[in-house]
Amino acid sequence: MPGLDESRIFIPLGIAVLTVSDTRDLVTDRSGDVLAGRISDAGHRLADRQIVSDDSSRIAGQVKTWSEDEAVDVIITTGGTGFTGRDVTPDTLEPLFDKRMDGFSAIFHRISYEKIGTSTIQSRATAGLIGRTFVFVLPGSPGACKDAWDGILKAQLDYRHLPCNFVEIMPRLDEHLKRGAKL
């Protein structure tokens, strides 16, 4: 059964939050607030928090910078996952992924379906690995951020979570890069 093994120590991670929006700032960024609060409440460290417009080069630039920063283990973006012309976050970030995490989208949509029904198909939530950094691309609503954190990320970013979690595999995340460099 999944659960926490209290005999294991909690390992705090550095998590950066990127809000993608043409209209929000730090005062009106409720989704970023939700994520920052949950990150802190869980015992992790908010490595950085930024807001960028719905612009591919700005989104990619910030995510690339964080993915190369040793202090950032995880990047969570919020916003830009819909279907309008300005929604470019998945289109921008998926080509940067060294590995895709298709299961994240599947579980996110299952959780979302329980809350908002078929409207969940209007989100292109996705996730993957850039180098040794996990990247989770969430919708821009506070509810979607709560669902993703509470239903998936809180457990998977906790070393004590069994039967497995992302923290325990972090030391081996760049094996594919090292192997590729030797070929």
Give DSSP secondary structure letters for 126-152. EEEEETTEEEEEE-SSHHHHHHHIIII
**3-182 fold:** Molybdenum Cofactor Biosythetic Enzyme; Chain A (3.40.980)
Q: Would you say 133 and 95 are in contact if contact means Cβ atoms under 8 Å apart?
A: no
pLDDT of residue 2: 83
Rounded-to-integer distance, Cα 46 and Cα 141, Å: 20
Give 30-39 pLDDT, tens digit per residue.
Answer: 999 999 999 9
pTM strictly above 0.85: yes
At 176, the pLDDT band (50, 70, 90 cuts) reads low
